[in-house]
Amino acid sequence: MKLKVIRISSGEDSTSGVLFDVTDPDNAKFLAYTLEDEYRDSENAKVMAETRIPAGEYKVILRTIGRIHNNYTKRFADIHKGTLHVIDVPNFKYILIHCGNTDEHTAGCLLVGDTQKNNQVYKDGYIGSSSKNYARIYPPIAAALEAGEEVTIKYVDYA
């Protein structure tokens, strides 16, 4: 399975984007609106919990330890197999795909939702219906991982 995040708006405190399943490049499927921390260039050193990950392609695995995994085991008991974990990101650890609404709910992770507000107007950005979106997009991704399929996610900067 191949996922792609297209970053469409880079604001003062947040980055807005869209997530697609691009496994079939001729039939890309919209999955979610996304929200991340803000961009920092090489002159501005990475700030813990305040910097988005670099553009690039990364592998996704299931992480079966940690606070979010423990919470989601209860919160999404009928579907949760492990937290979606983006690995091998230079200078970052524990980058997850999870629920949340503003950049205050992420520490470099990718938040997903069904609605989005303009992060040029709303400094912290905003995505809504995050739990419903996560419950919809998580099962096919987790199923692919459980079946032994490689899952990758590519982050592309347009903003």
Question: For residues 77 and 105, is the Cβ–Cβ distance under 8 A?
Answer: no
Residue 42 reports pLDDT greater than 70: no
| pLDDT for 118 | 87
What whole-number distance in Å separates Cα of residue 1 and Cα of residue 11? 30
Q: pLDDT, tens digit, for every residue of 147-156?
A: 999 999 999 9
Q: How confident is the model at residue 87 (pLDDT cuts 50, 70, 90)?
A: very high
Total domains, the chain: 1
Q: pLDDT, tens digit, for every residue of 1-31?
A: 999 999 999 988 899 999 999 999 999 999 9
What whole-number distance in Å separates Cα of residue 65 and Cα of residue 55? 26
Which residue in 18, 95, 22 sits closest to 53, CA to CA?
Answer: 95
Print the domain residue range for 33: 2-157
Token digits of residue 129 = 């219906």
Report, as an integer, the average pLDDT of 95-122.
Answer: 92
What whole-number distance in Å separates Cα of residue 40 and Cα of residue 53? 9
